[in-house]
Amino acid sequence: MTRNRLVVIGRAAKPFGIRGEIKVKPFTESLESFENSDVLVFGETAYKVTRIRIHKGAALVSLEGIDSPEAASKLMGTLVKTGEGNLPAKEEDEYYWFELLGMCVFTTDGRDLGKITQITPTGANDVLHVEGSYGEVLLPMIEDVVLEVDLENEKMTVDPLDGLIPDD
């Protein structure tokens, strides 16, 4: 896996204050990704970060060359990205969603269920949406179902609960 790829970590919301700060709504649980970044990409343009502060669960970001609310407003709605290396360290058996999206999913008996197209948080556990020859299969991301995640080969092995996959 490439450690320098860009990862979406939030969306630019609106200007904040009179000095061109922009409020960014995070897509991450931790705001550490913002604090670790010297450069952030808004849309397709990279900006040097001059200051980041946390305010009410959002990141308030000051960018080089953006010094007015009018300039900051041009960034509203854009996706905010950082380099993968700026993301917080993961625990063992913990994965970022972007690592799982597009991954091929196989059952323990070798059936190809398709690829992960979406992940939905439910509070108790995330749910994987797998699209393939069985249509859309929803799999809870729990230890009893997800047996192995091979990031290098982009492959997941699962033991689905009874009734989750139509019989052949």
CA distance 45 to 12: 13
Place of tokens 């343009």: 45
Question: β-pairing, 155-158 with 104-107?
Answer: parallel
- Inter-CA distances, 9 with 35, 85, 160, Å: 12, 12, 31
Claim to verify: residue 63 and residue 119 sit in the same structural domain: no
CA distance 120 to 141: 10
Instruction: Give the CATH number for residue 104.
Output: 2.30.30.240
User: Tens of pLDDT along 82-125?
Assistant: 998 888 888 888 888 888 999 999 999 999 999 999 999 888 89
Confidence at 27, pLDDT banded by 50, 70, 90: confident
Place of tokens 């989750």: 164
Residue 134: Cβ-neighbour burial (10 angstroms; 0-12, 13-18, 19+): middle
Claim to verify: residue 102 and residue 143 sit in the same structural domain: yes
Domain that residue 24 falls in: 6-85
Confidence at 1, pLDDT banded by 50, 70, 90: very low
Nearest to 37 by CA among 26, 25, 50, 56: 50
Claim to verify: residue 12 and residue 79 sit in the same structural domain: yes
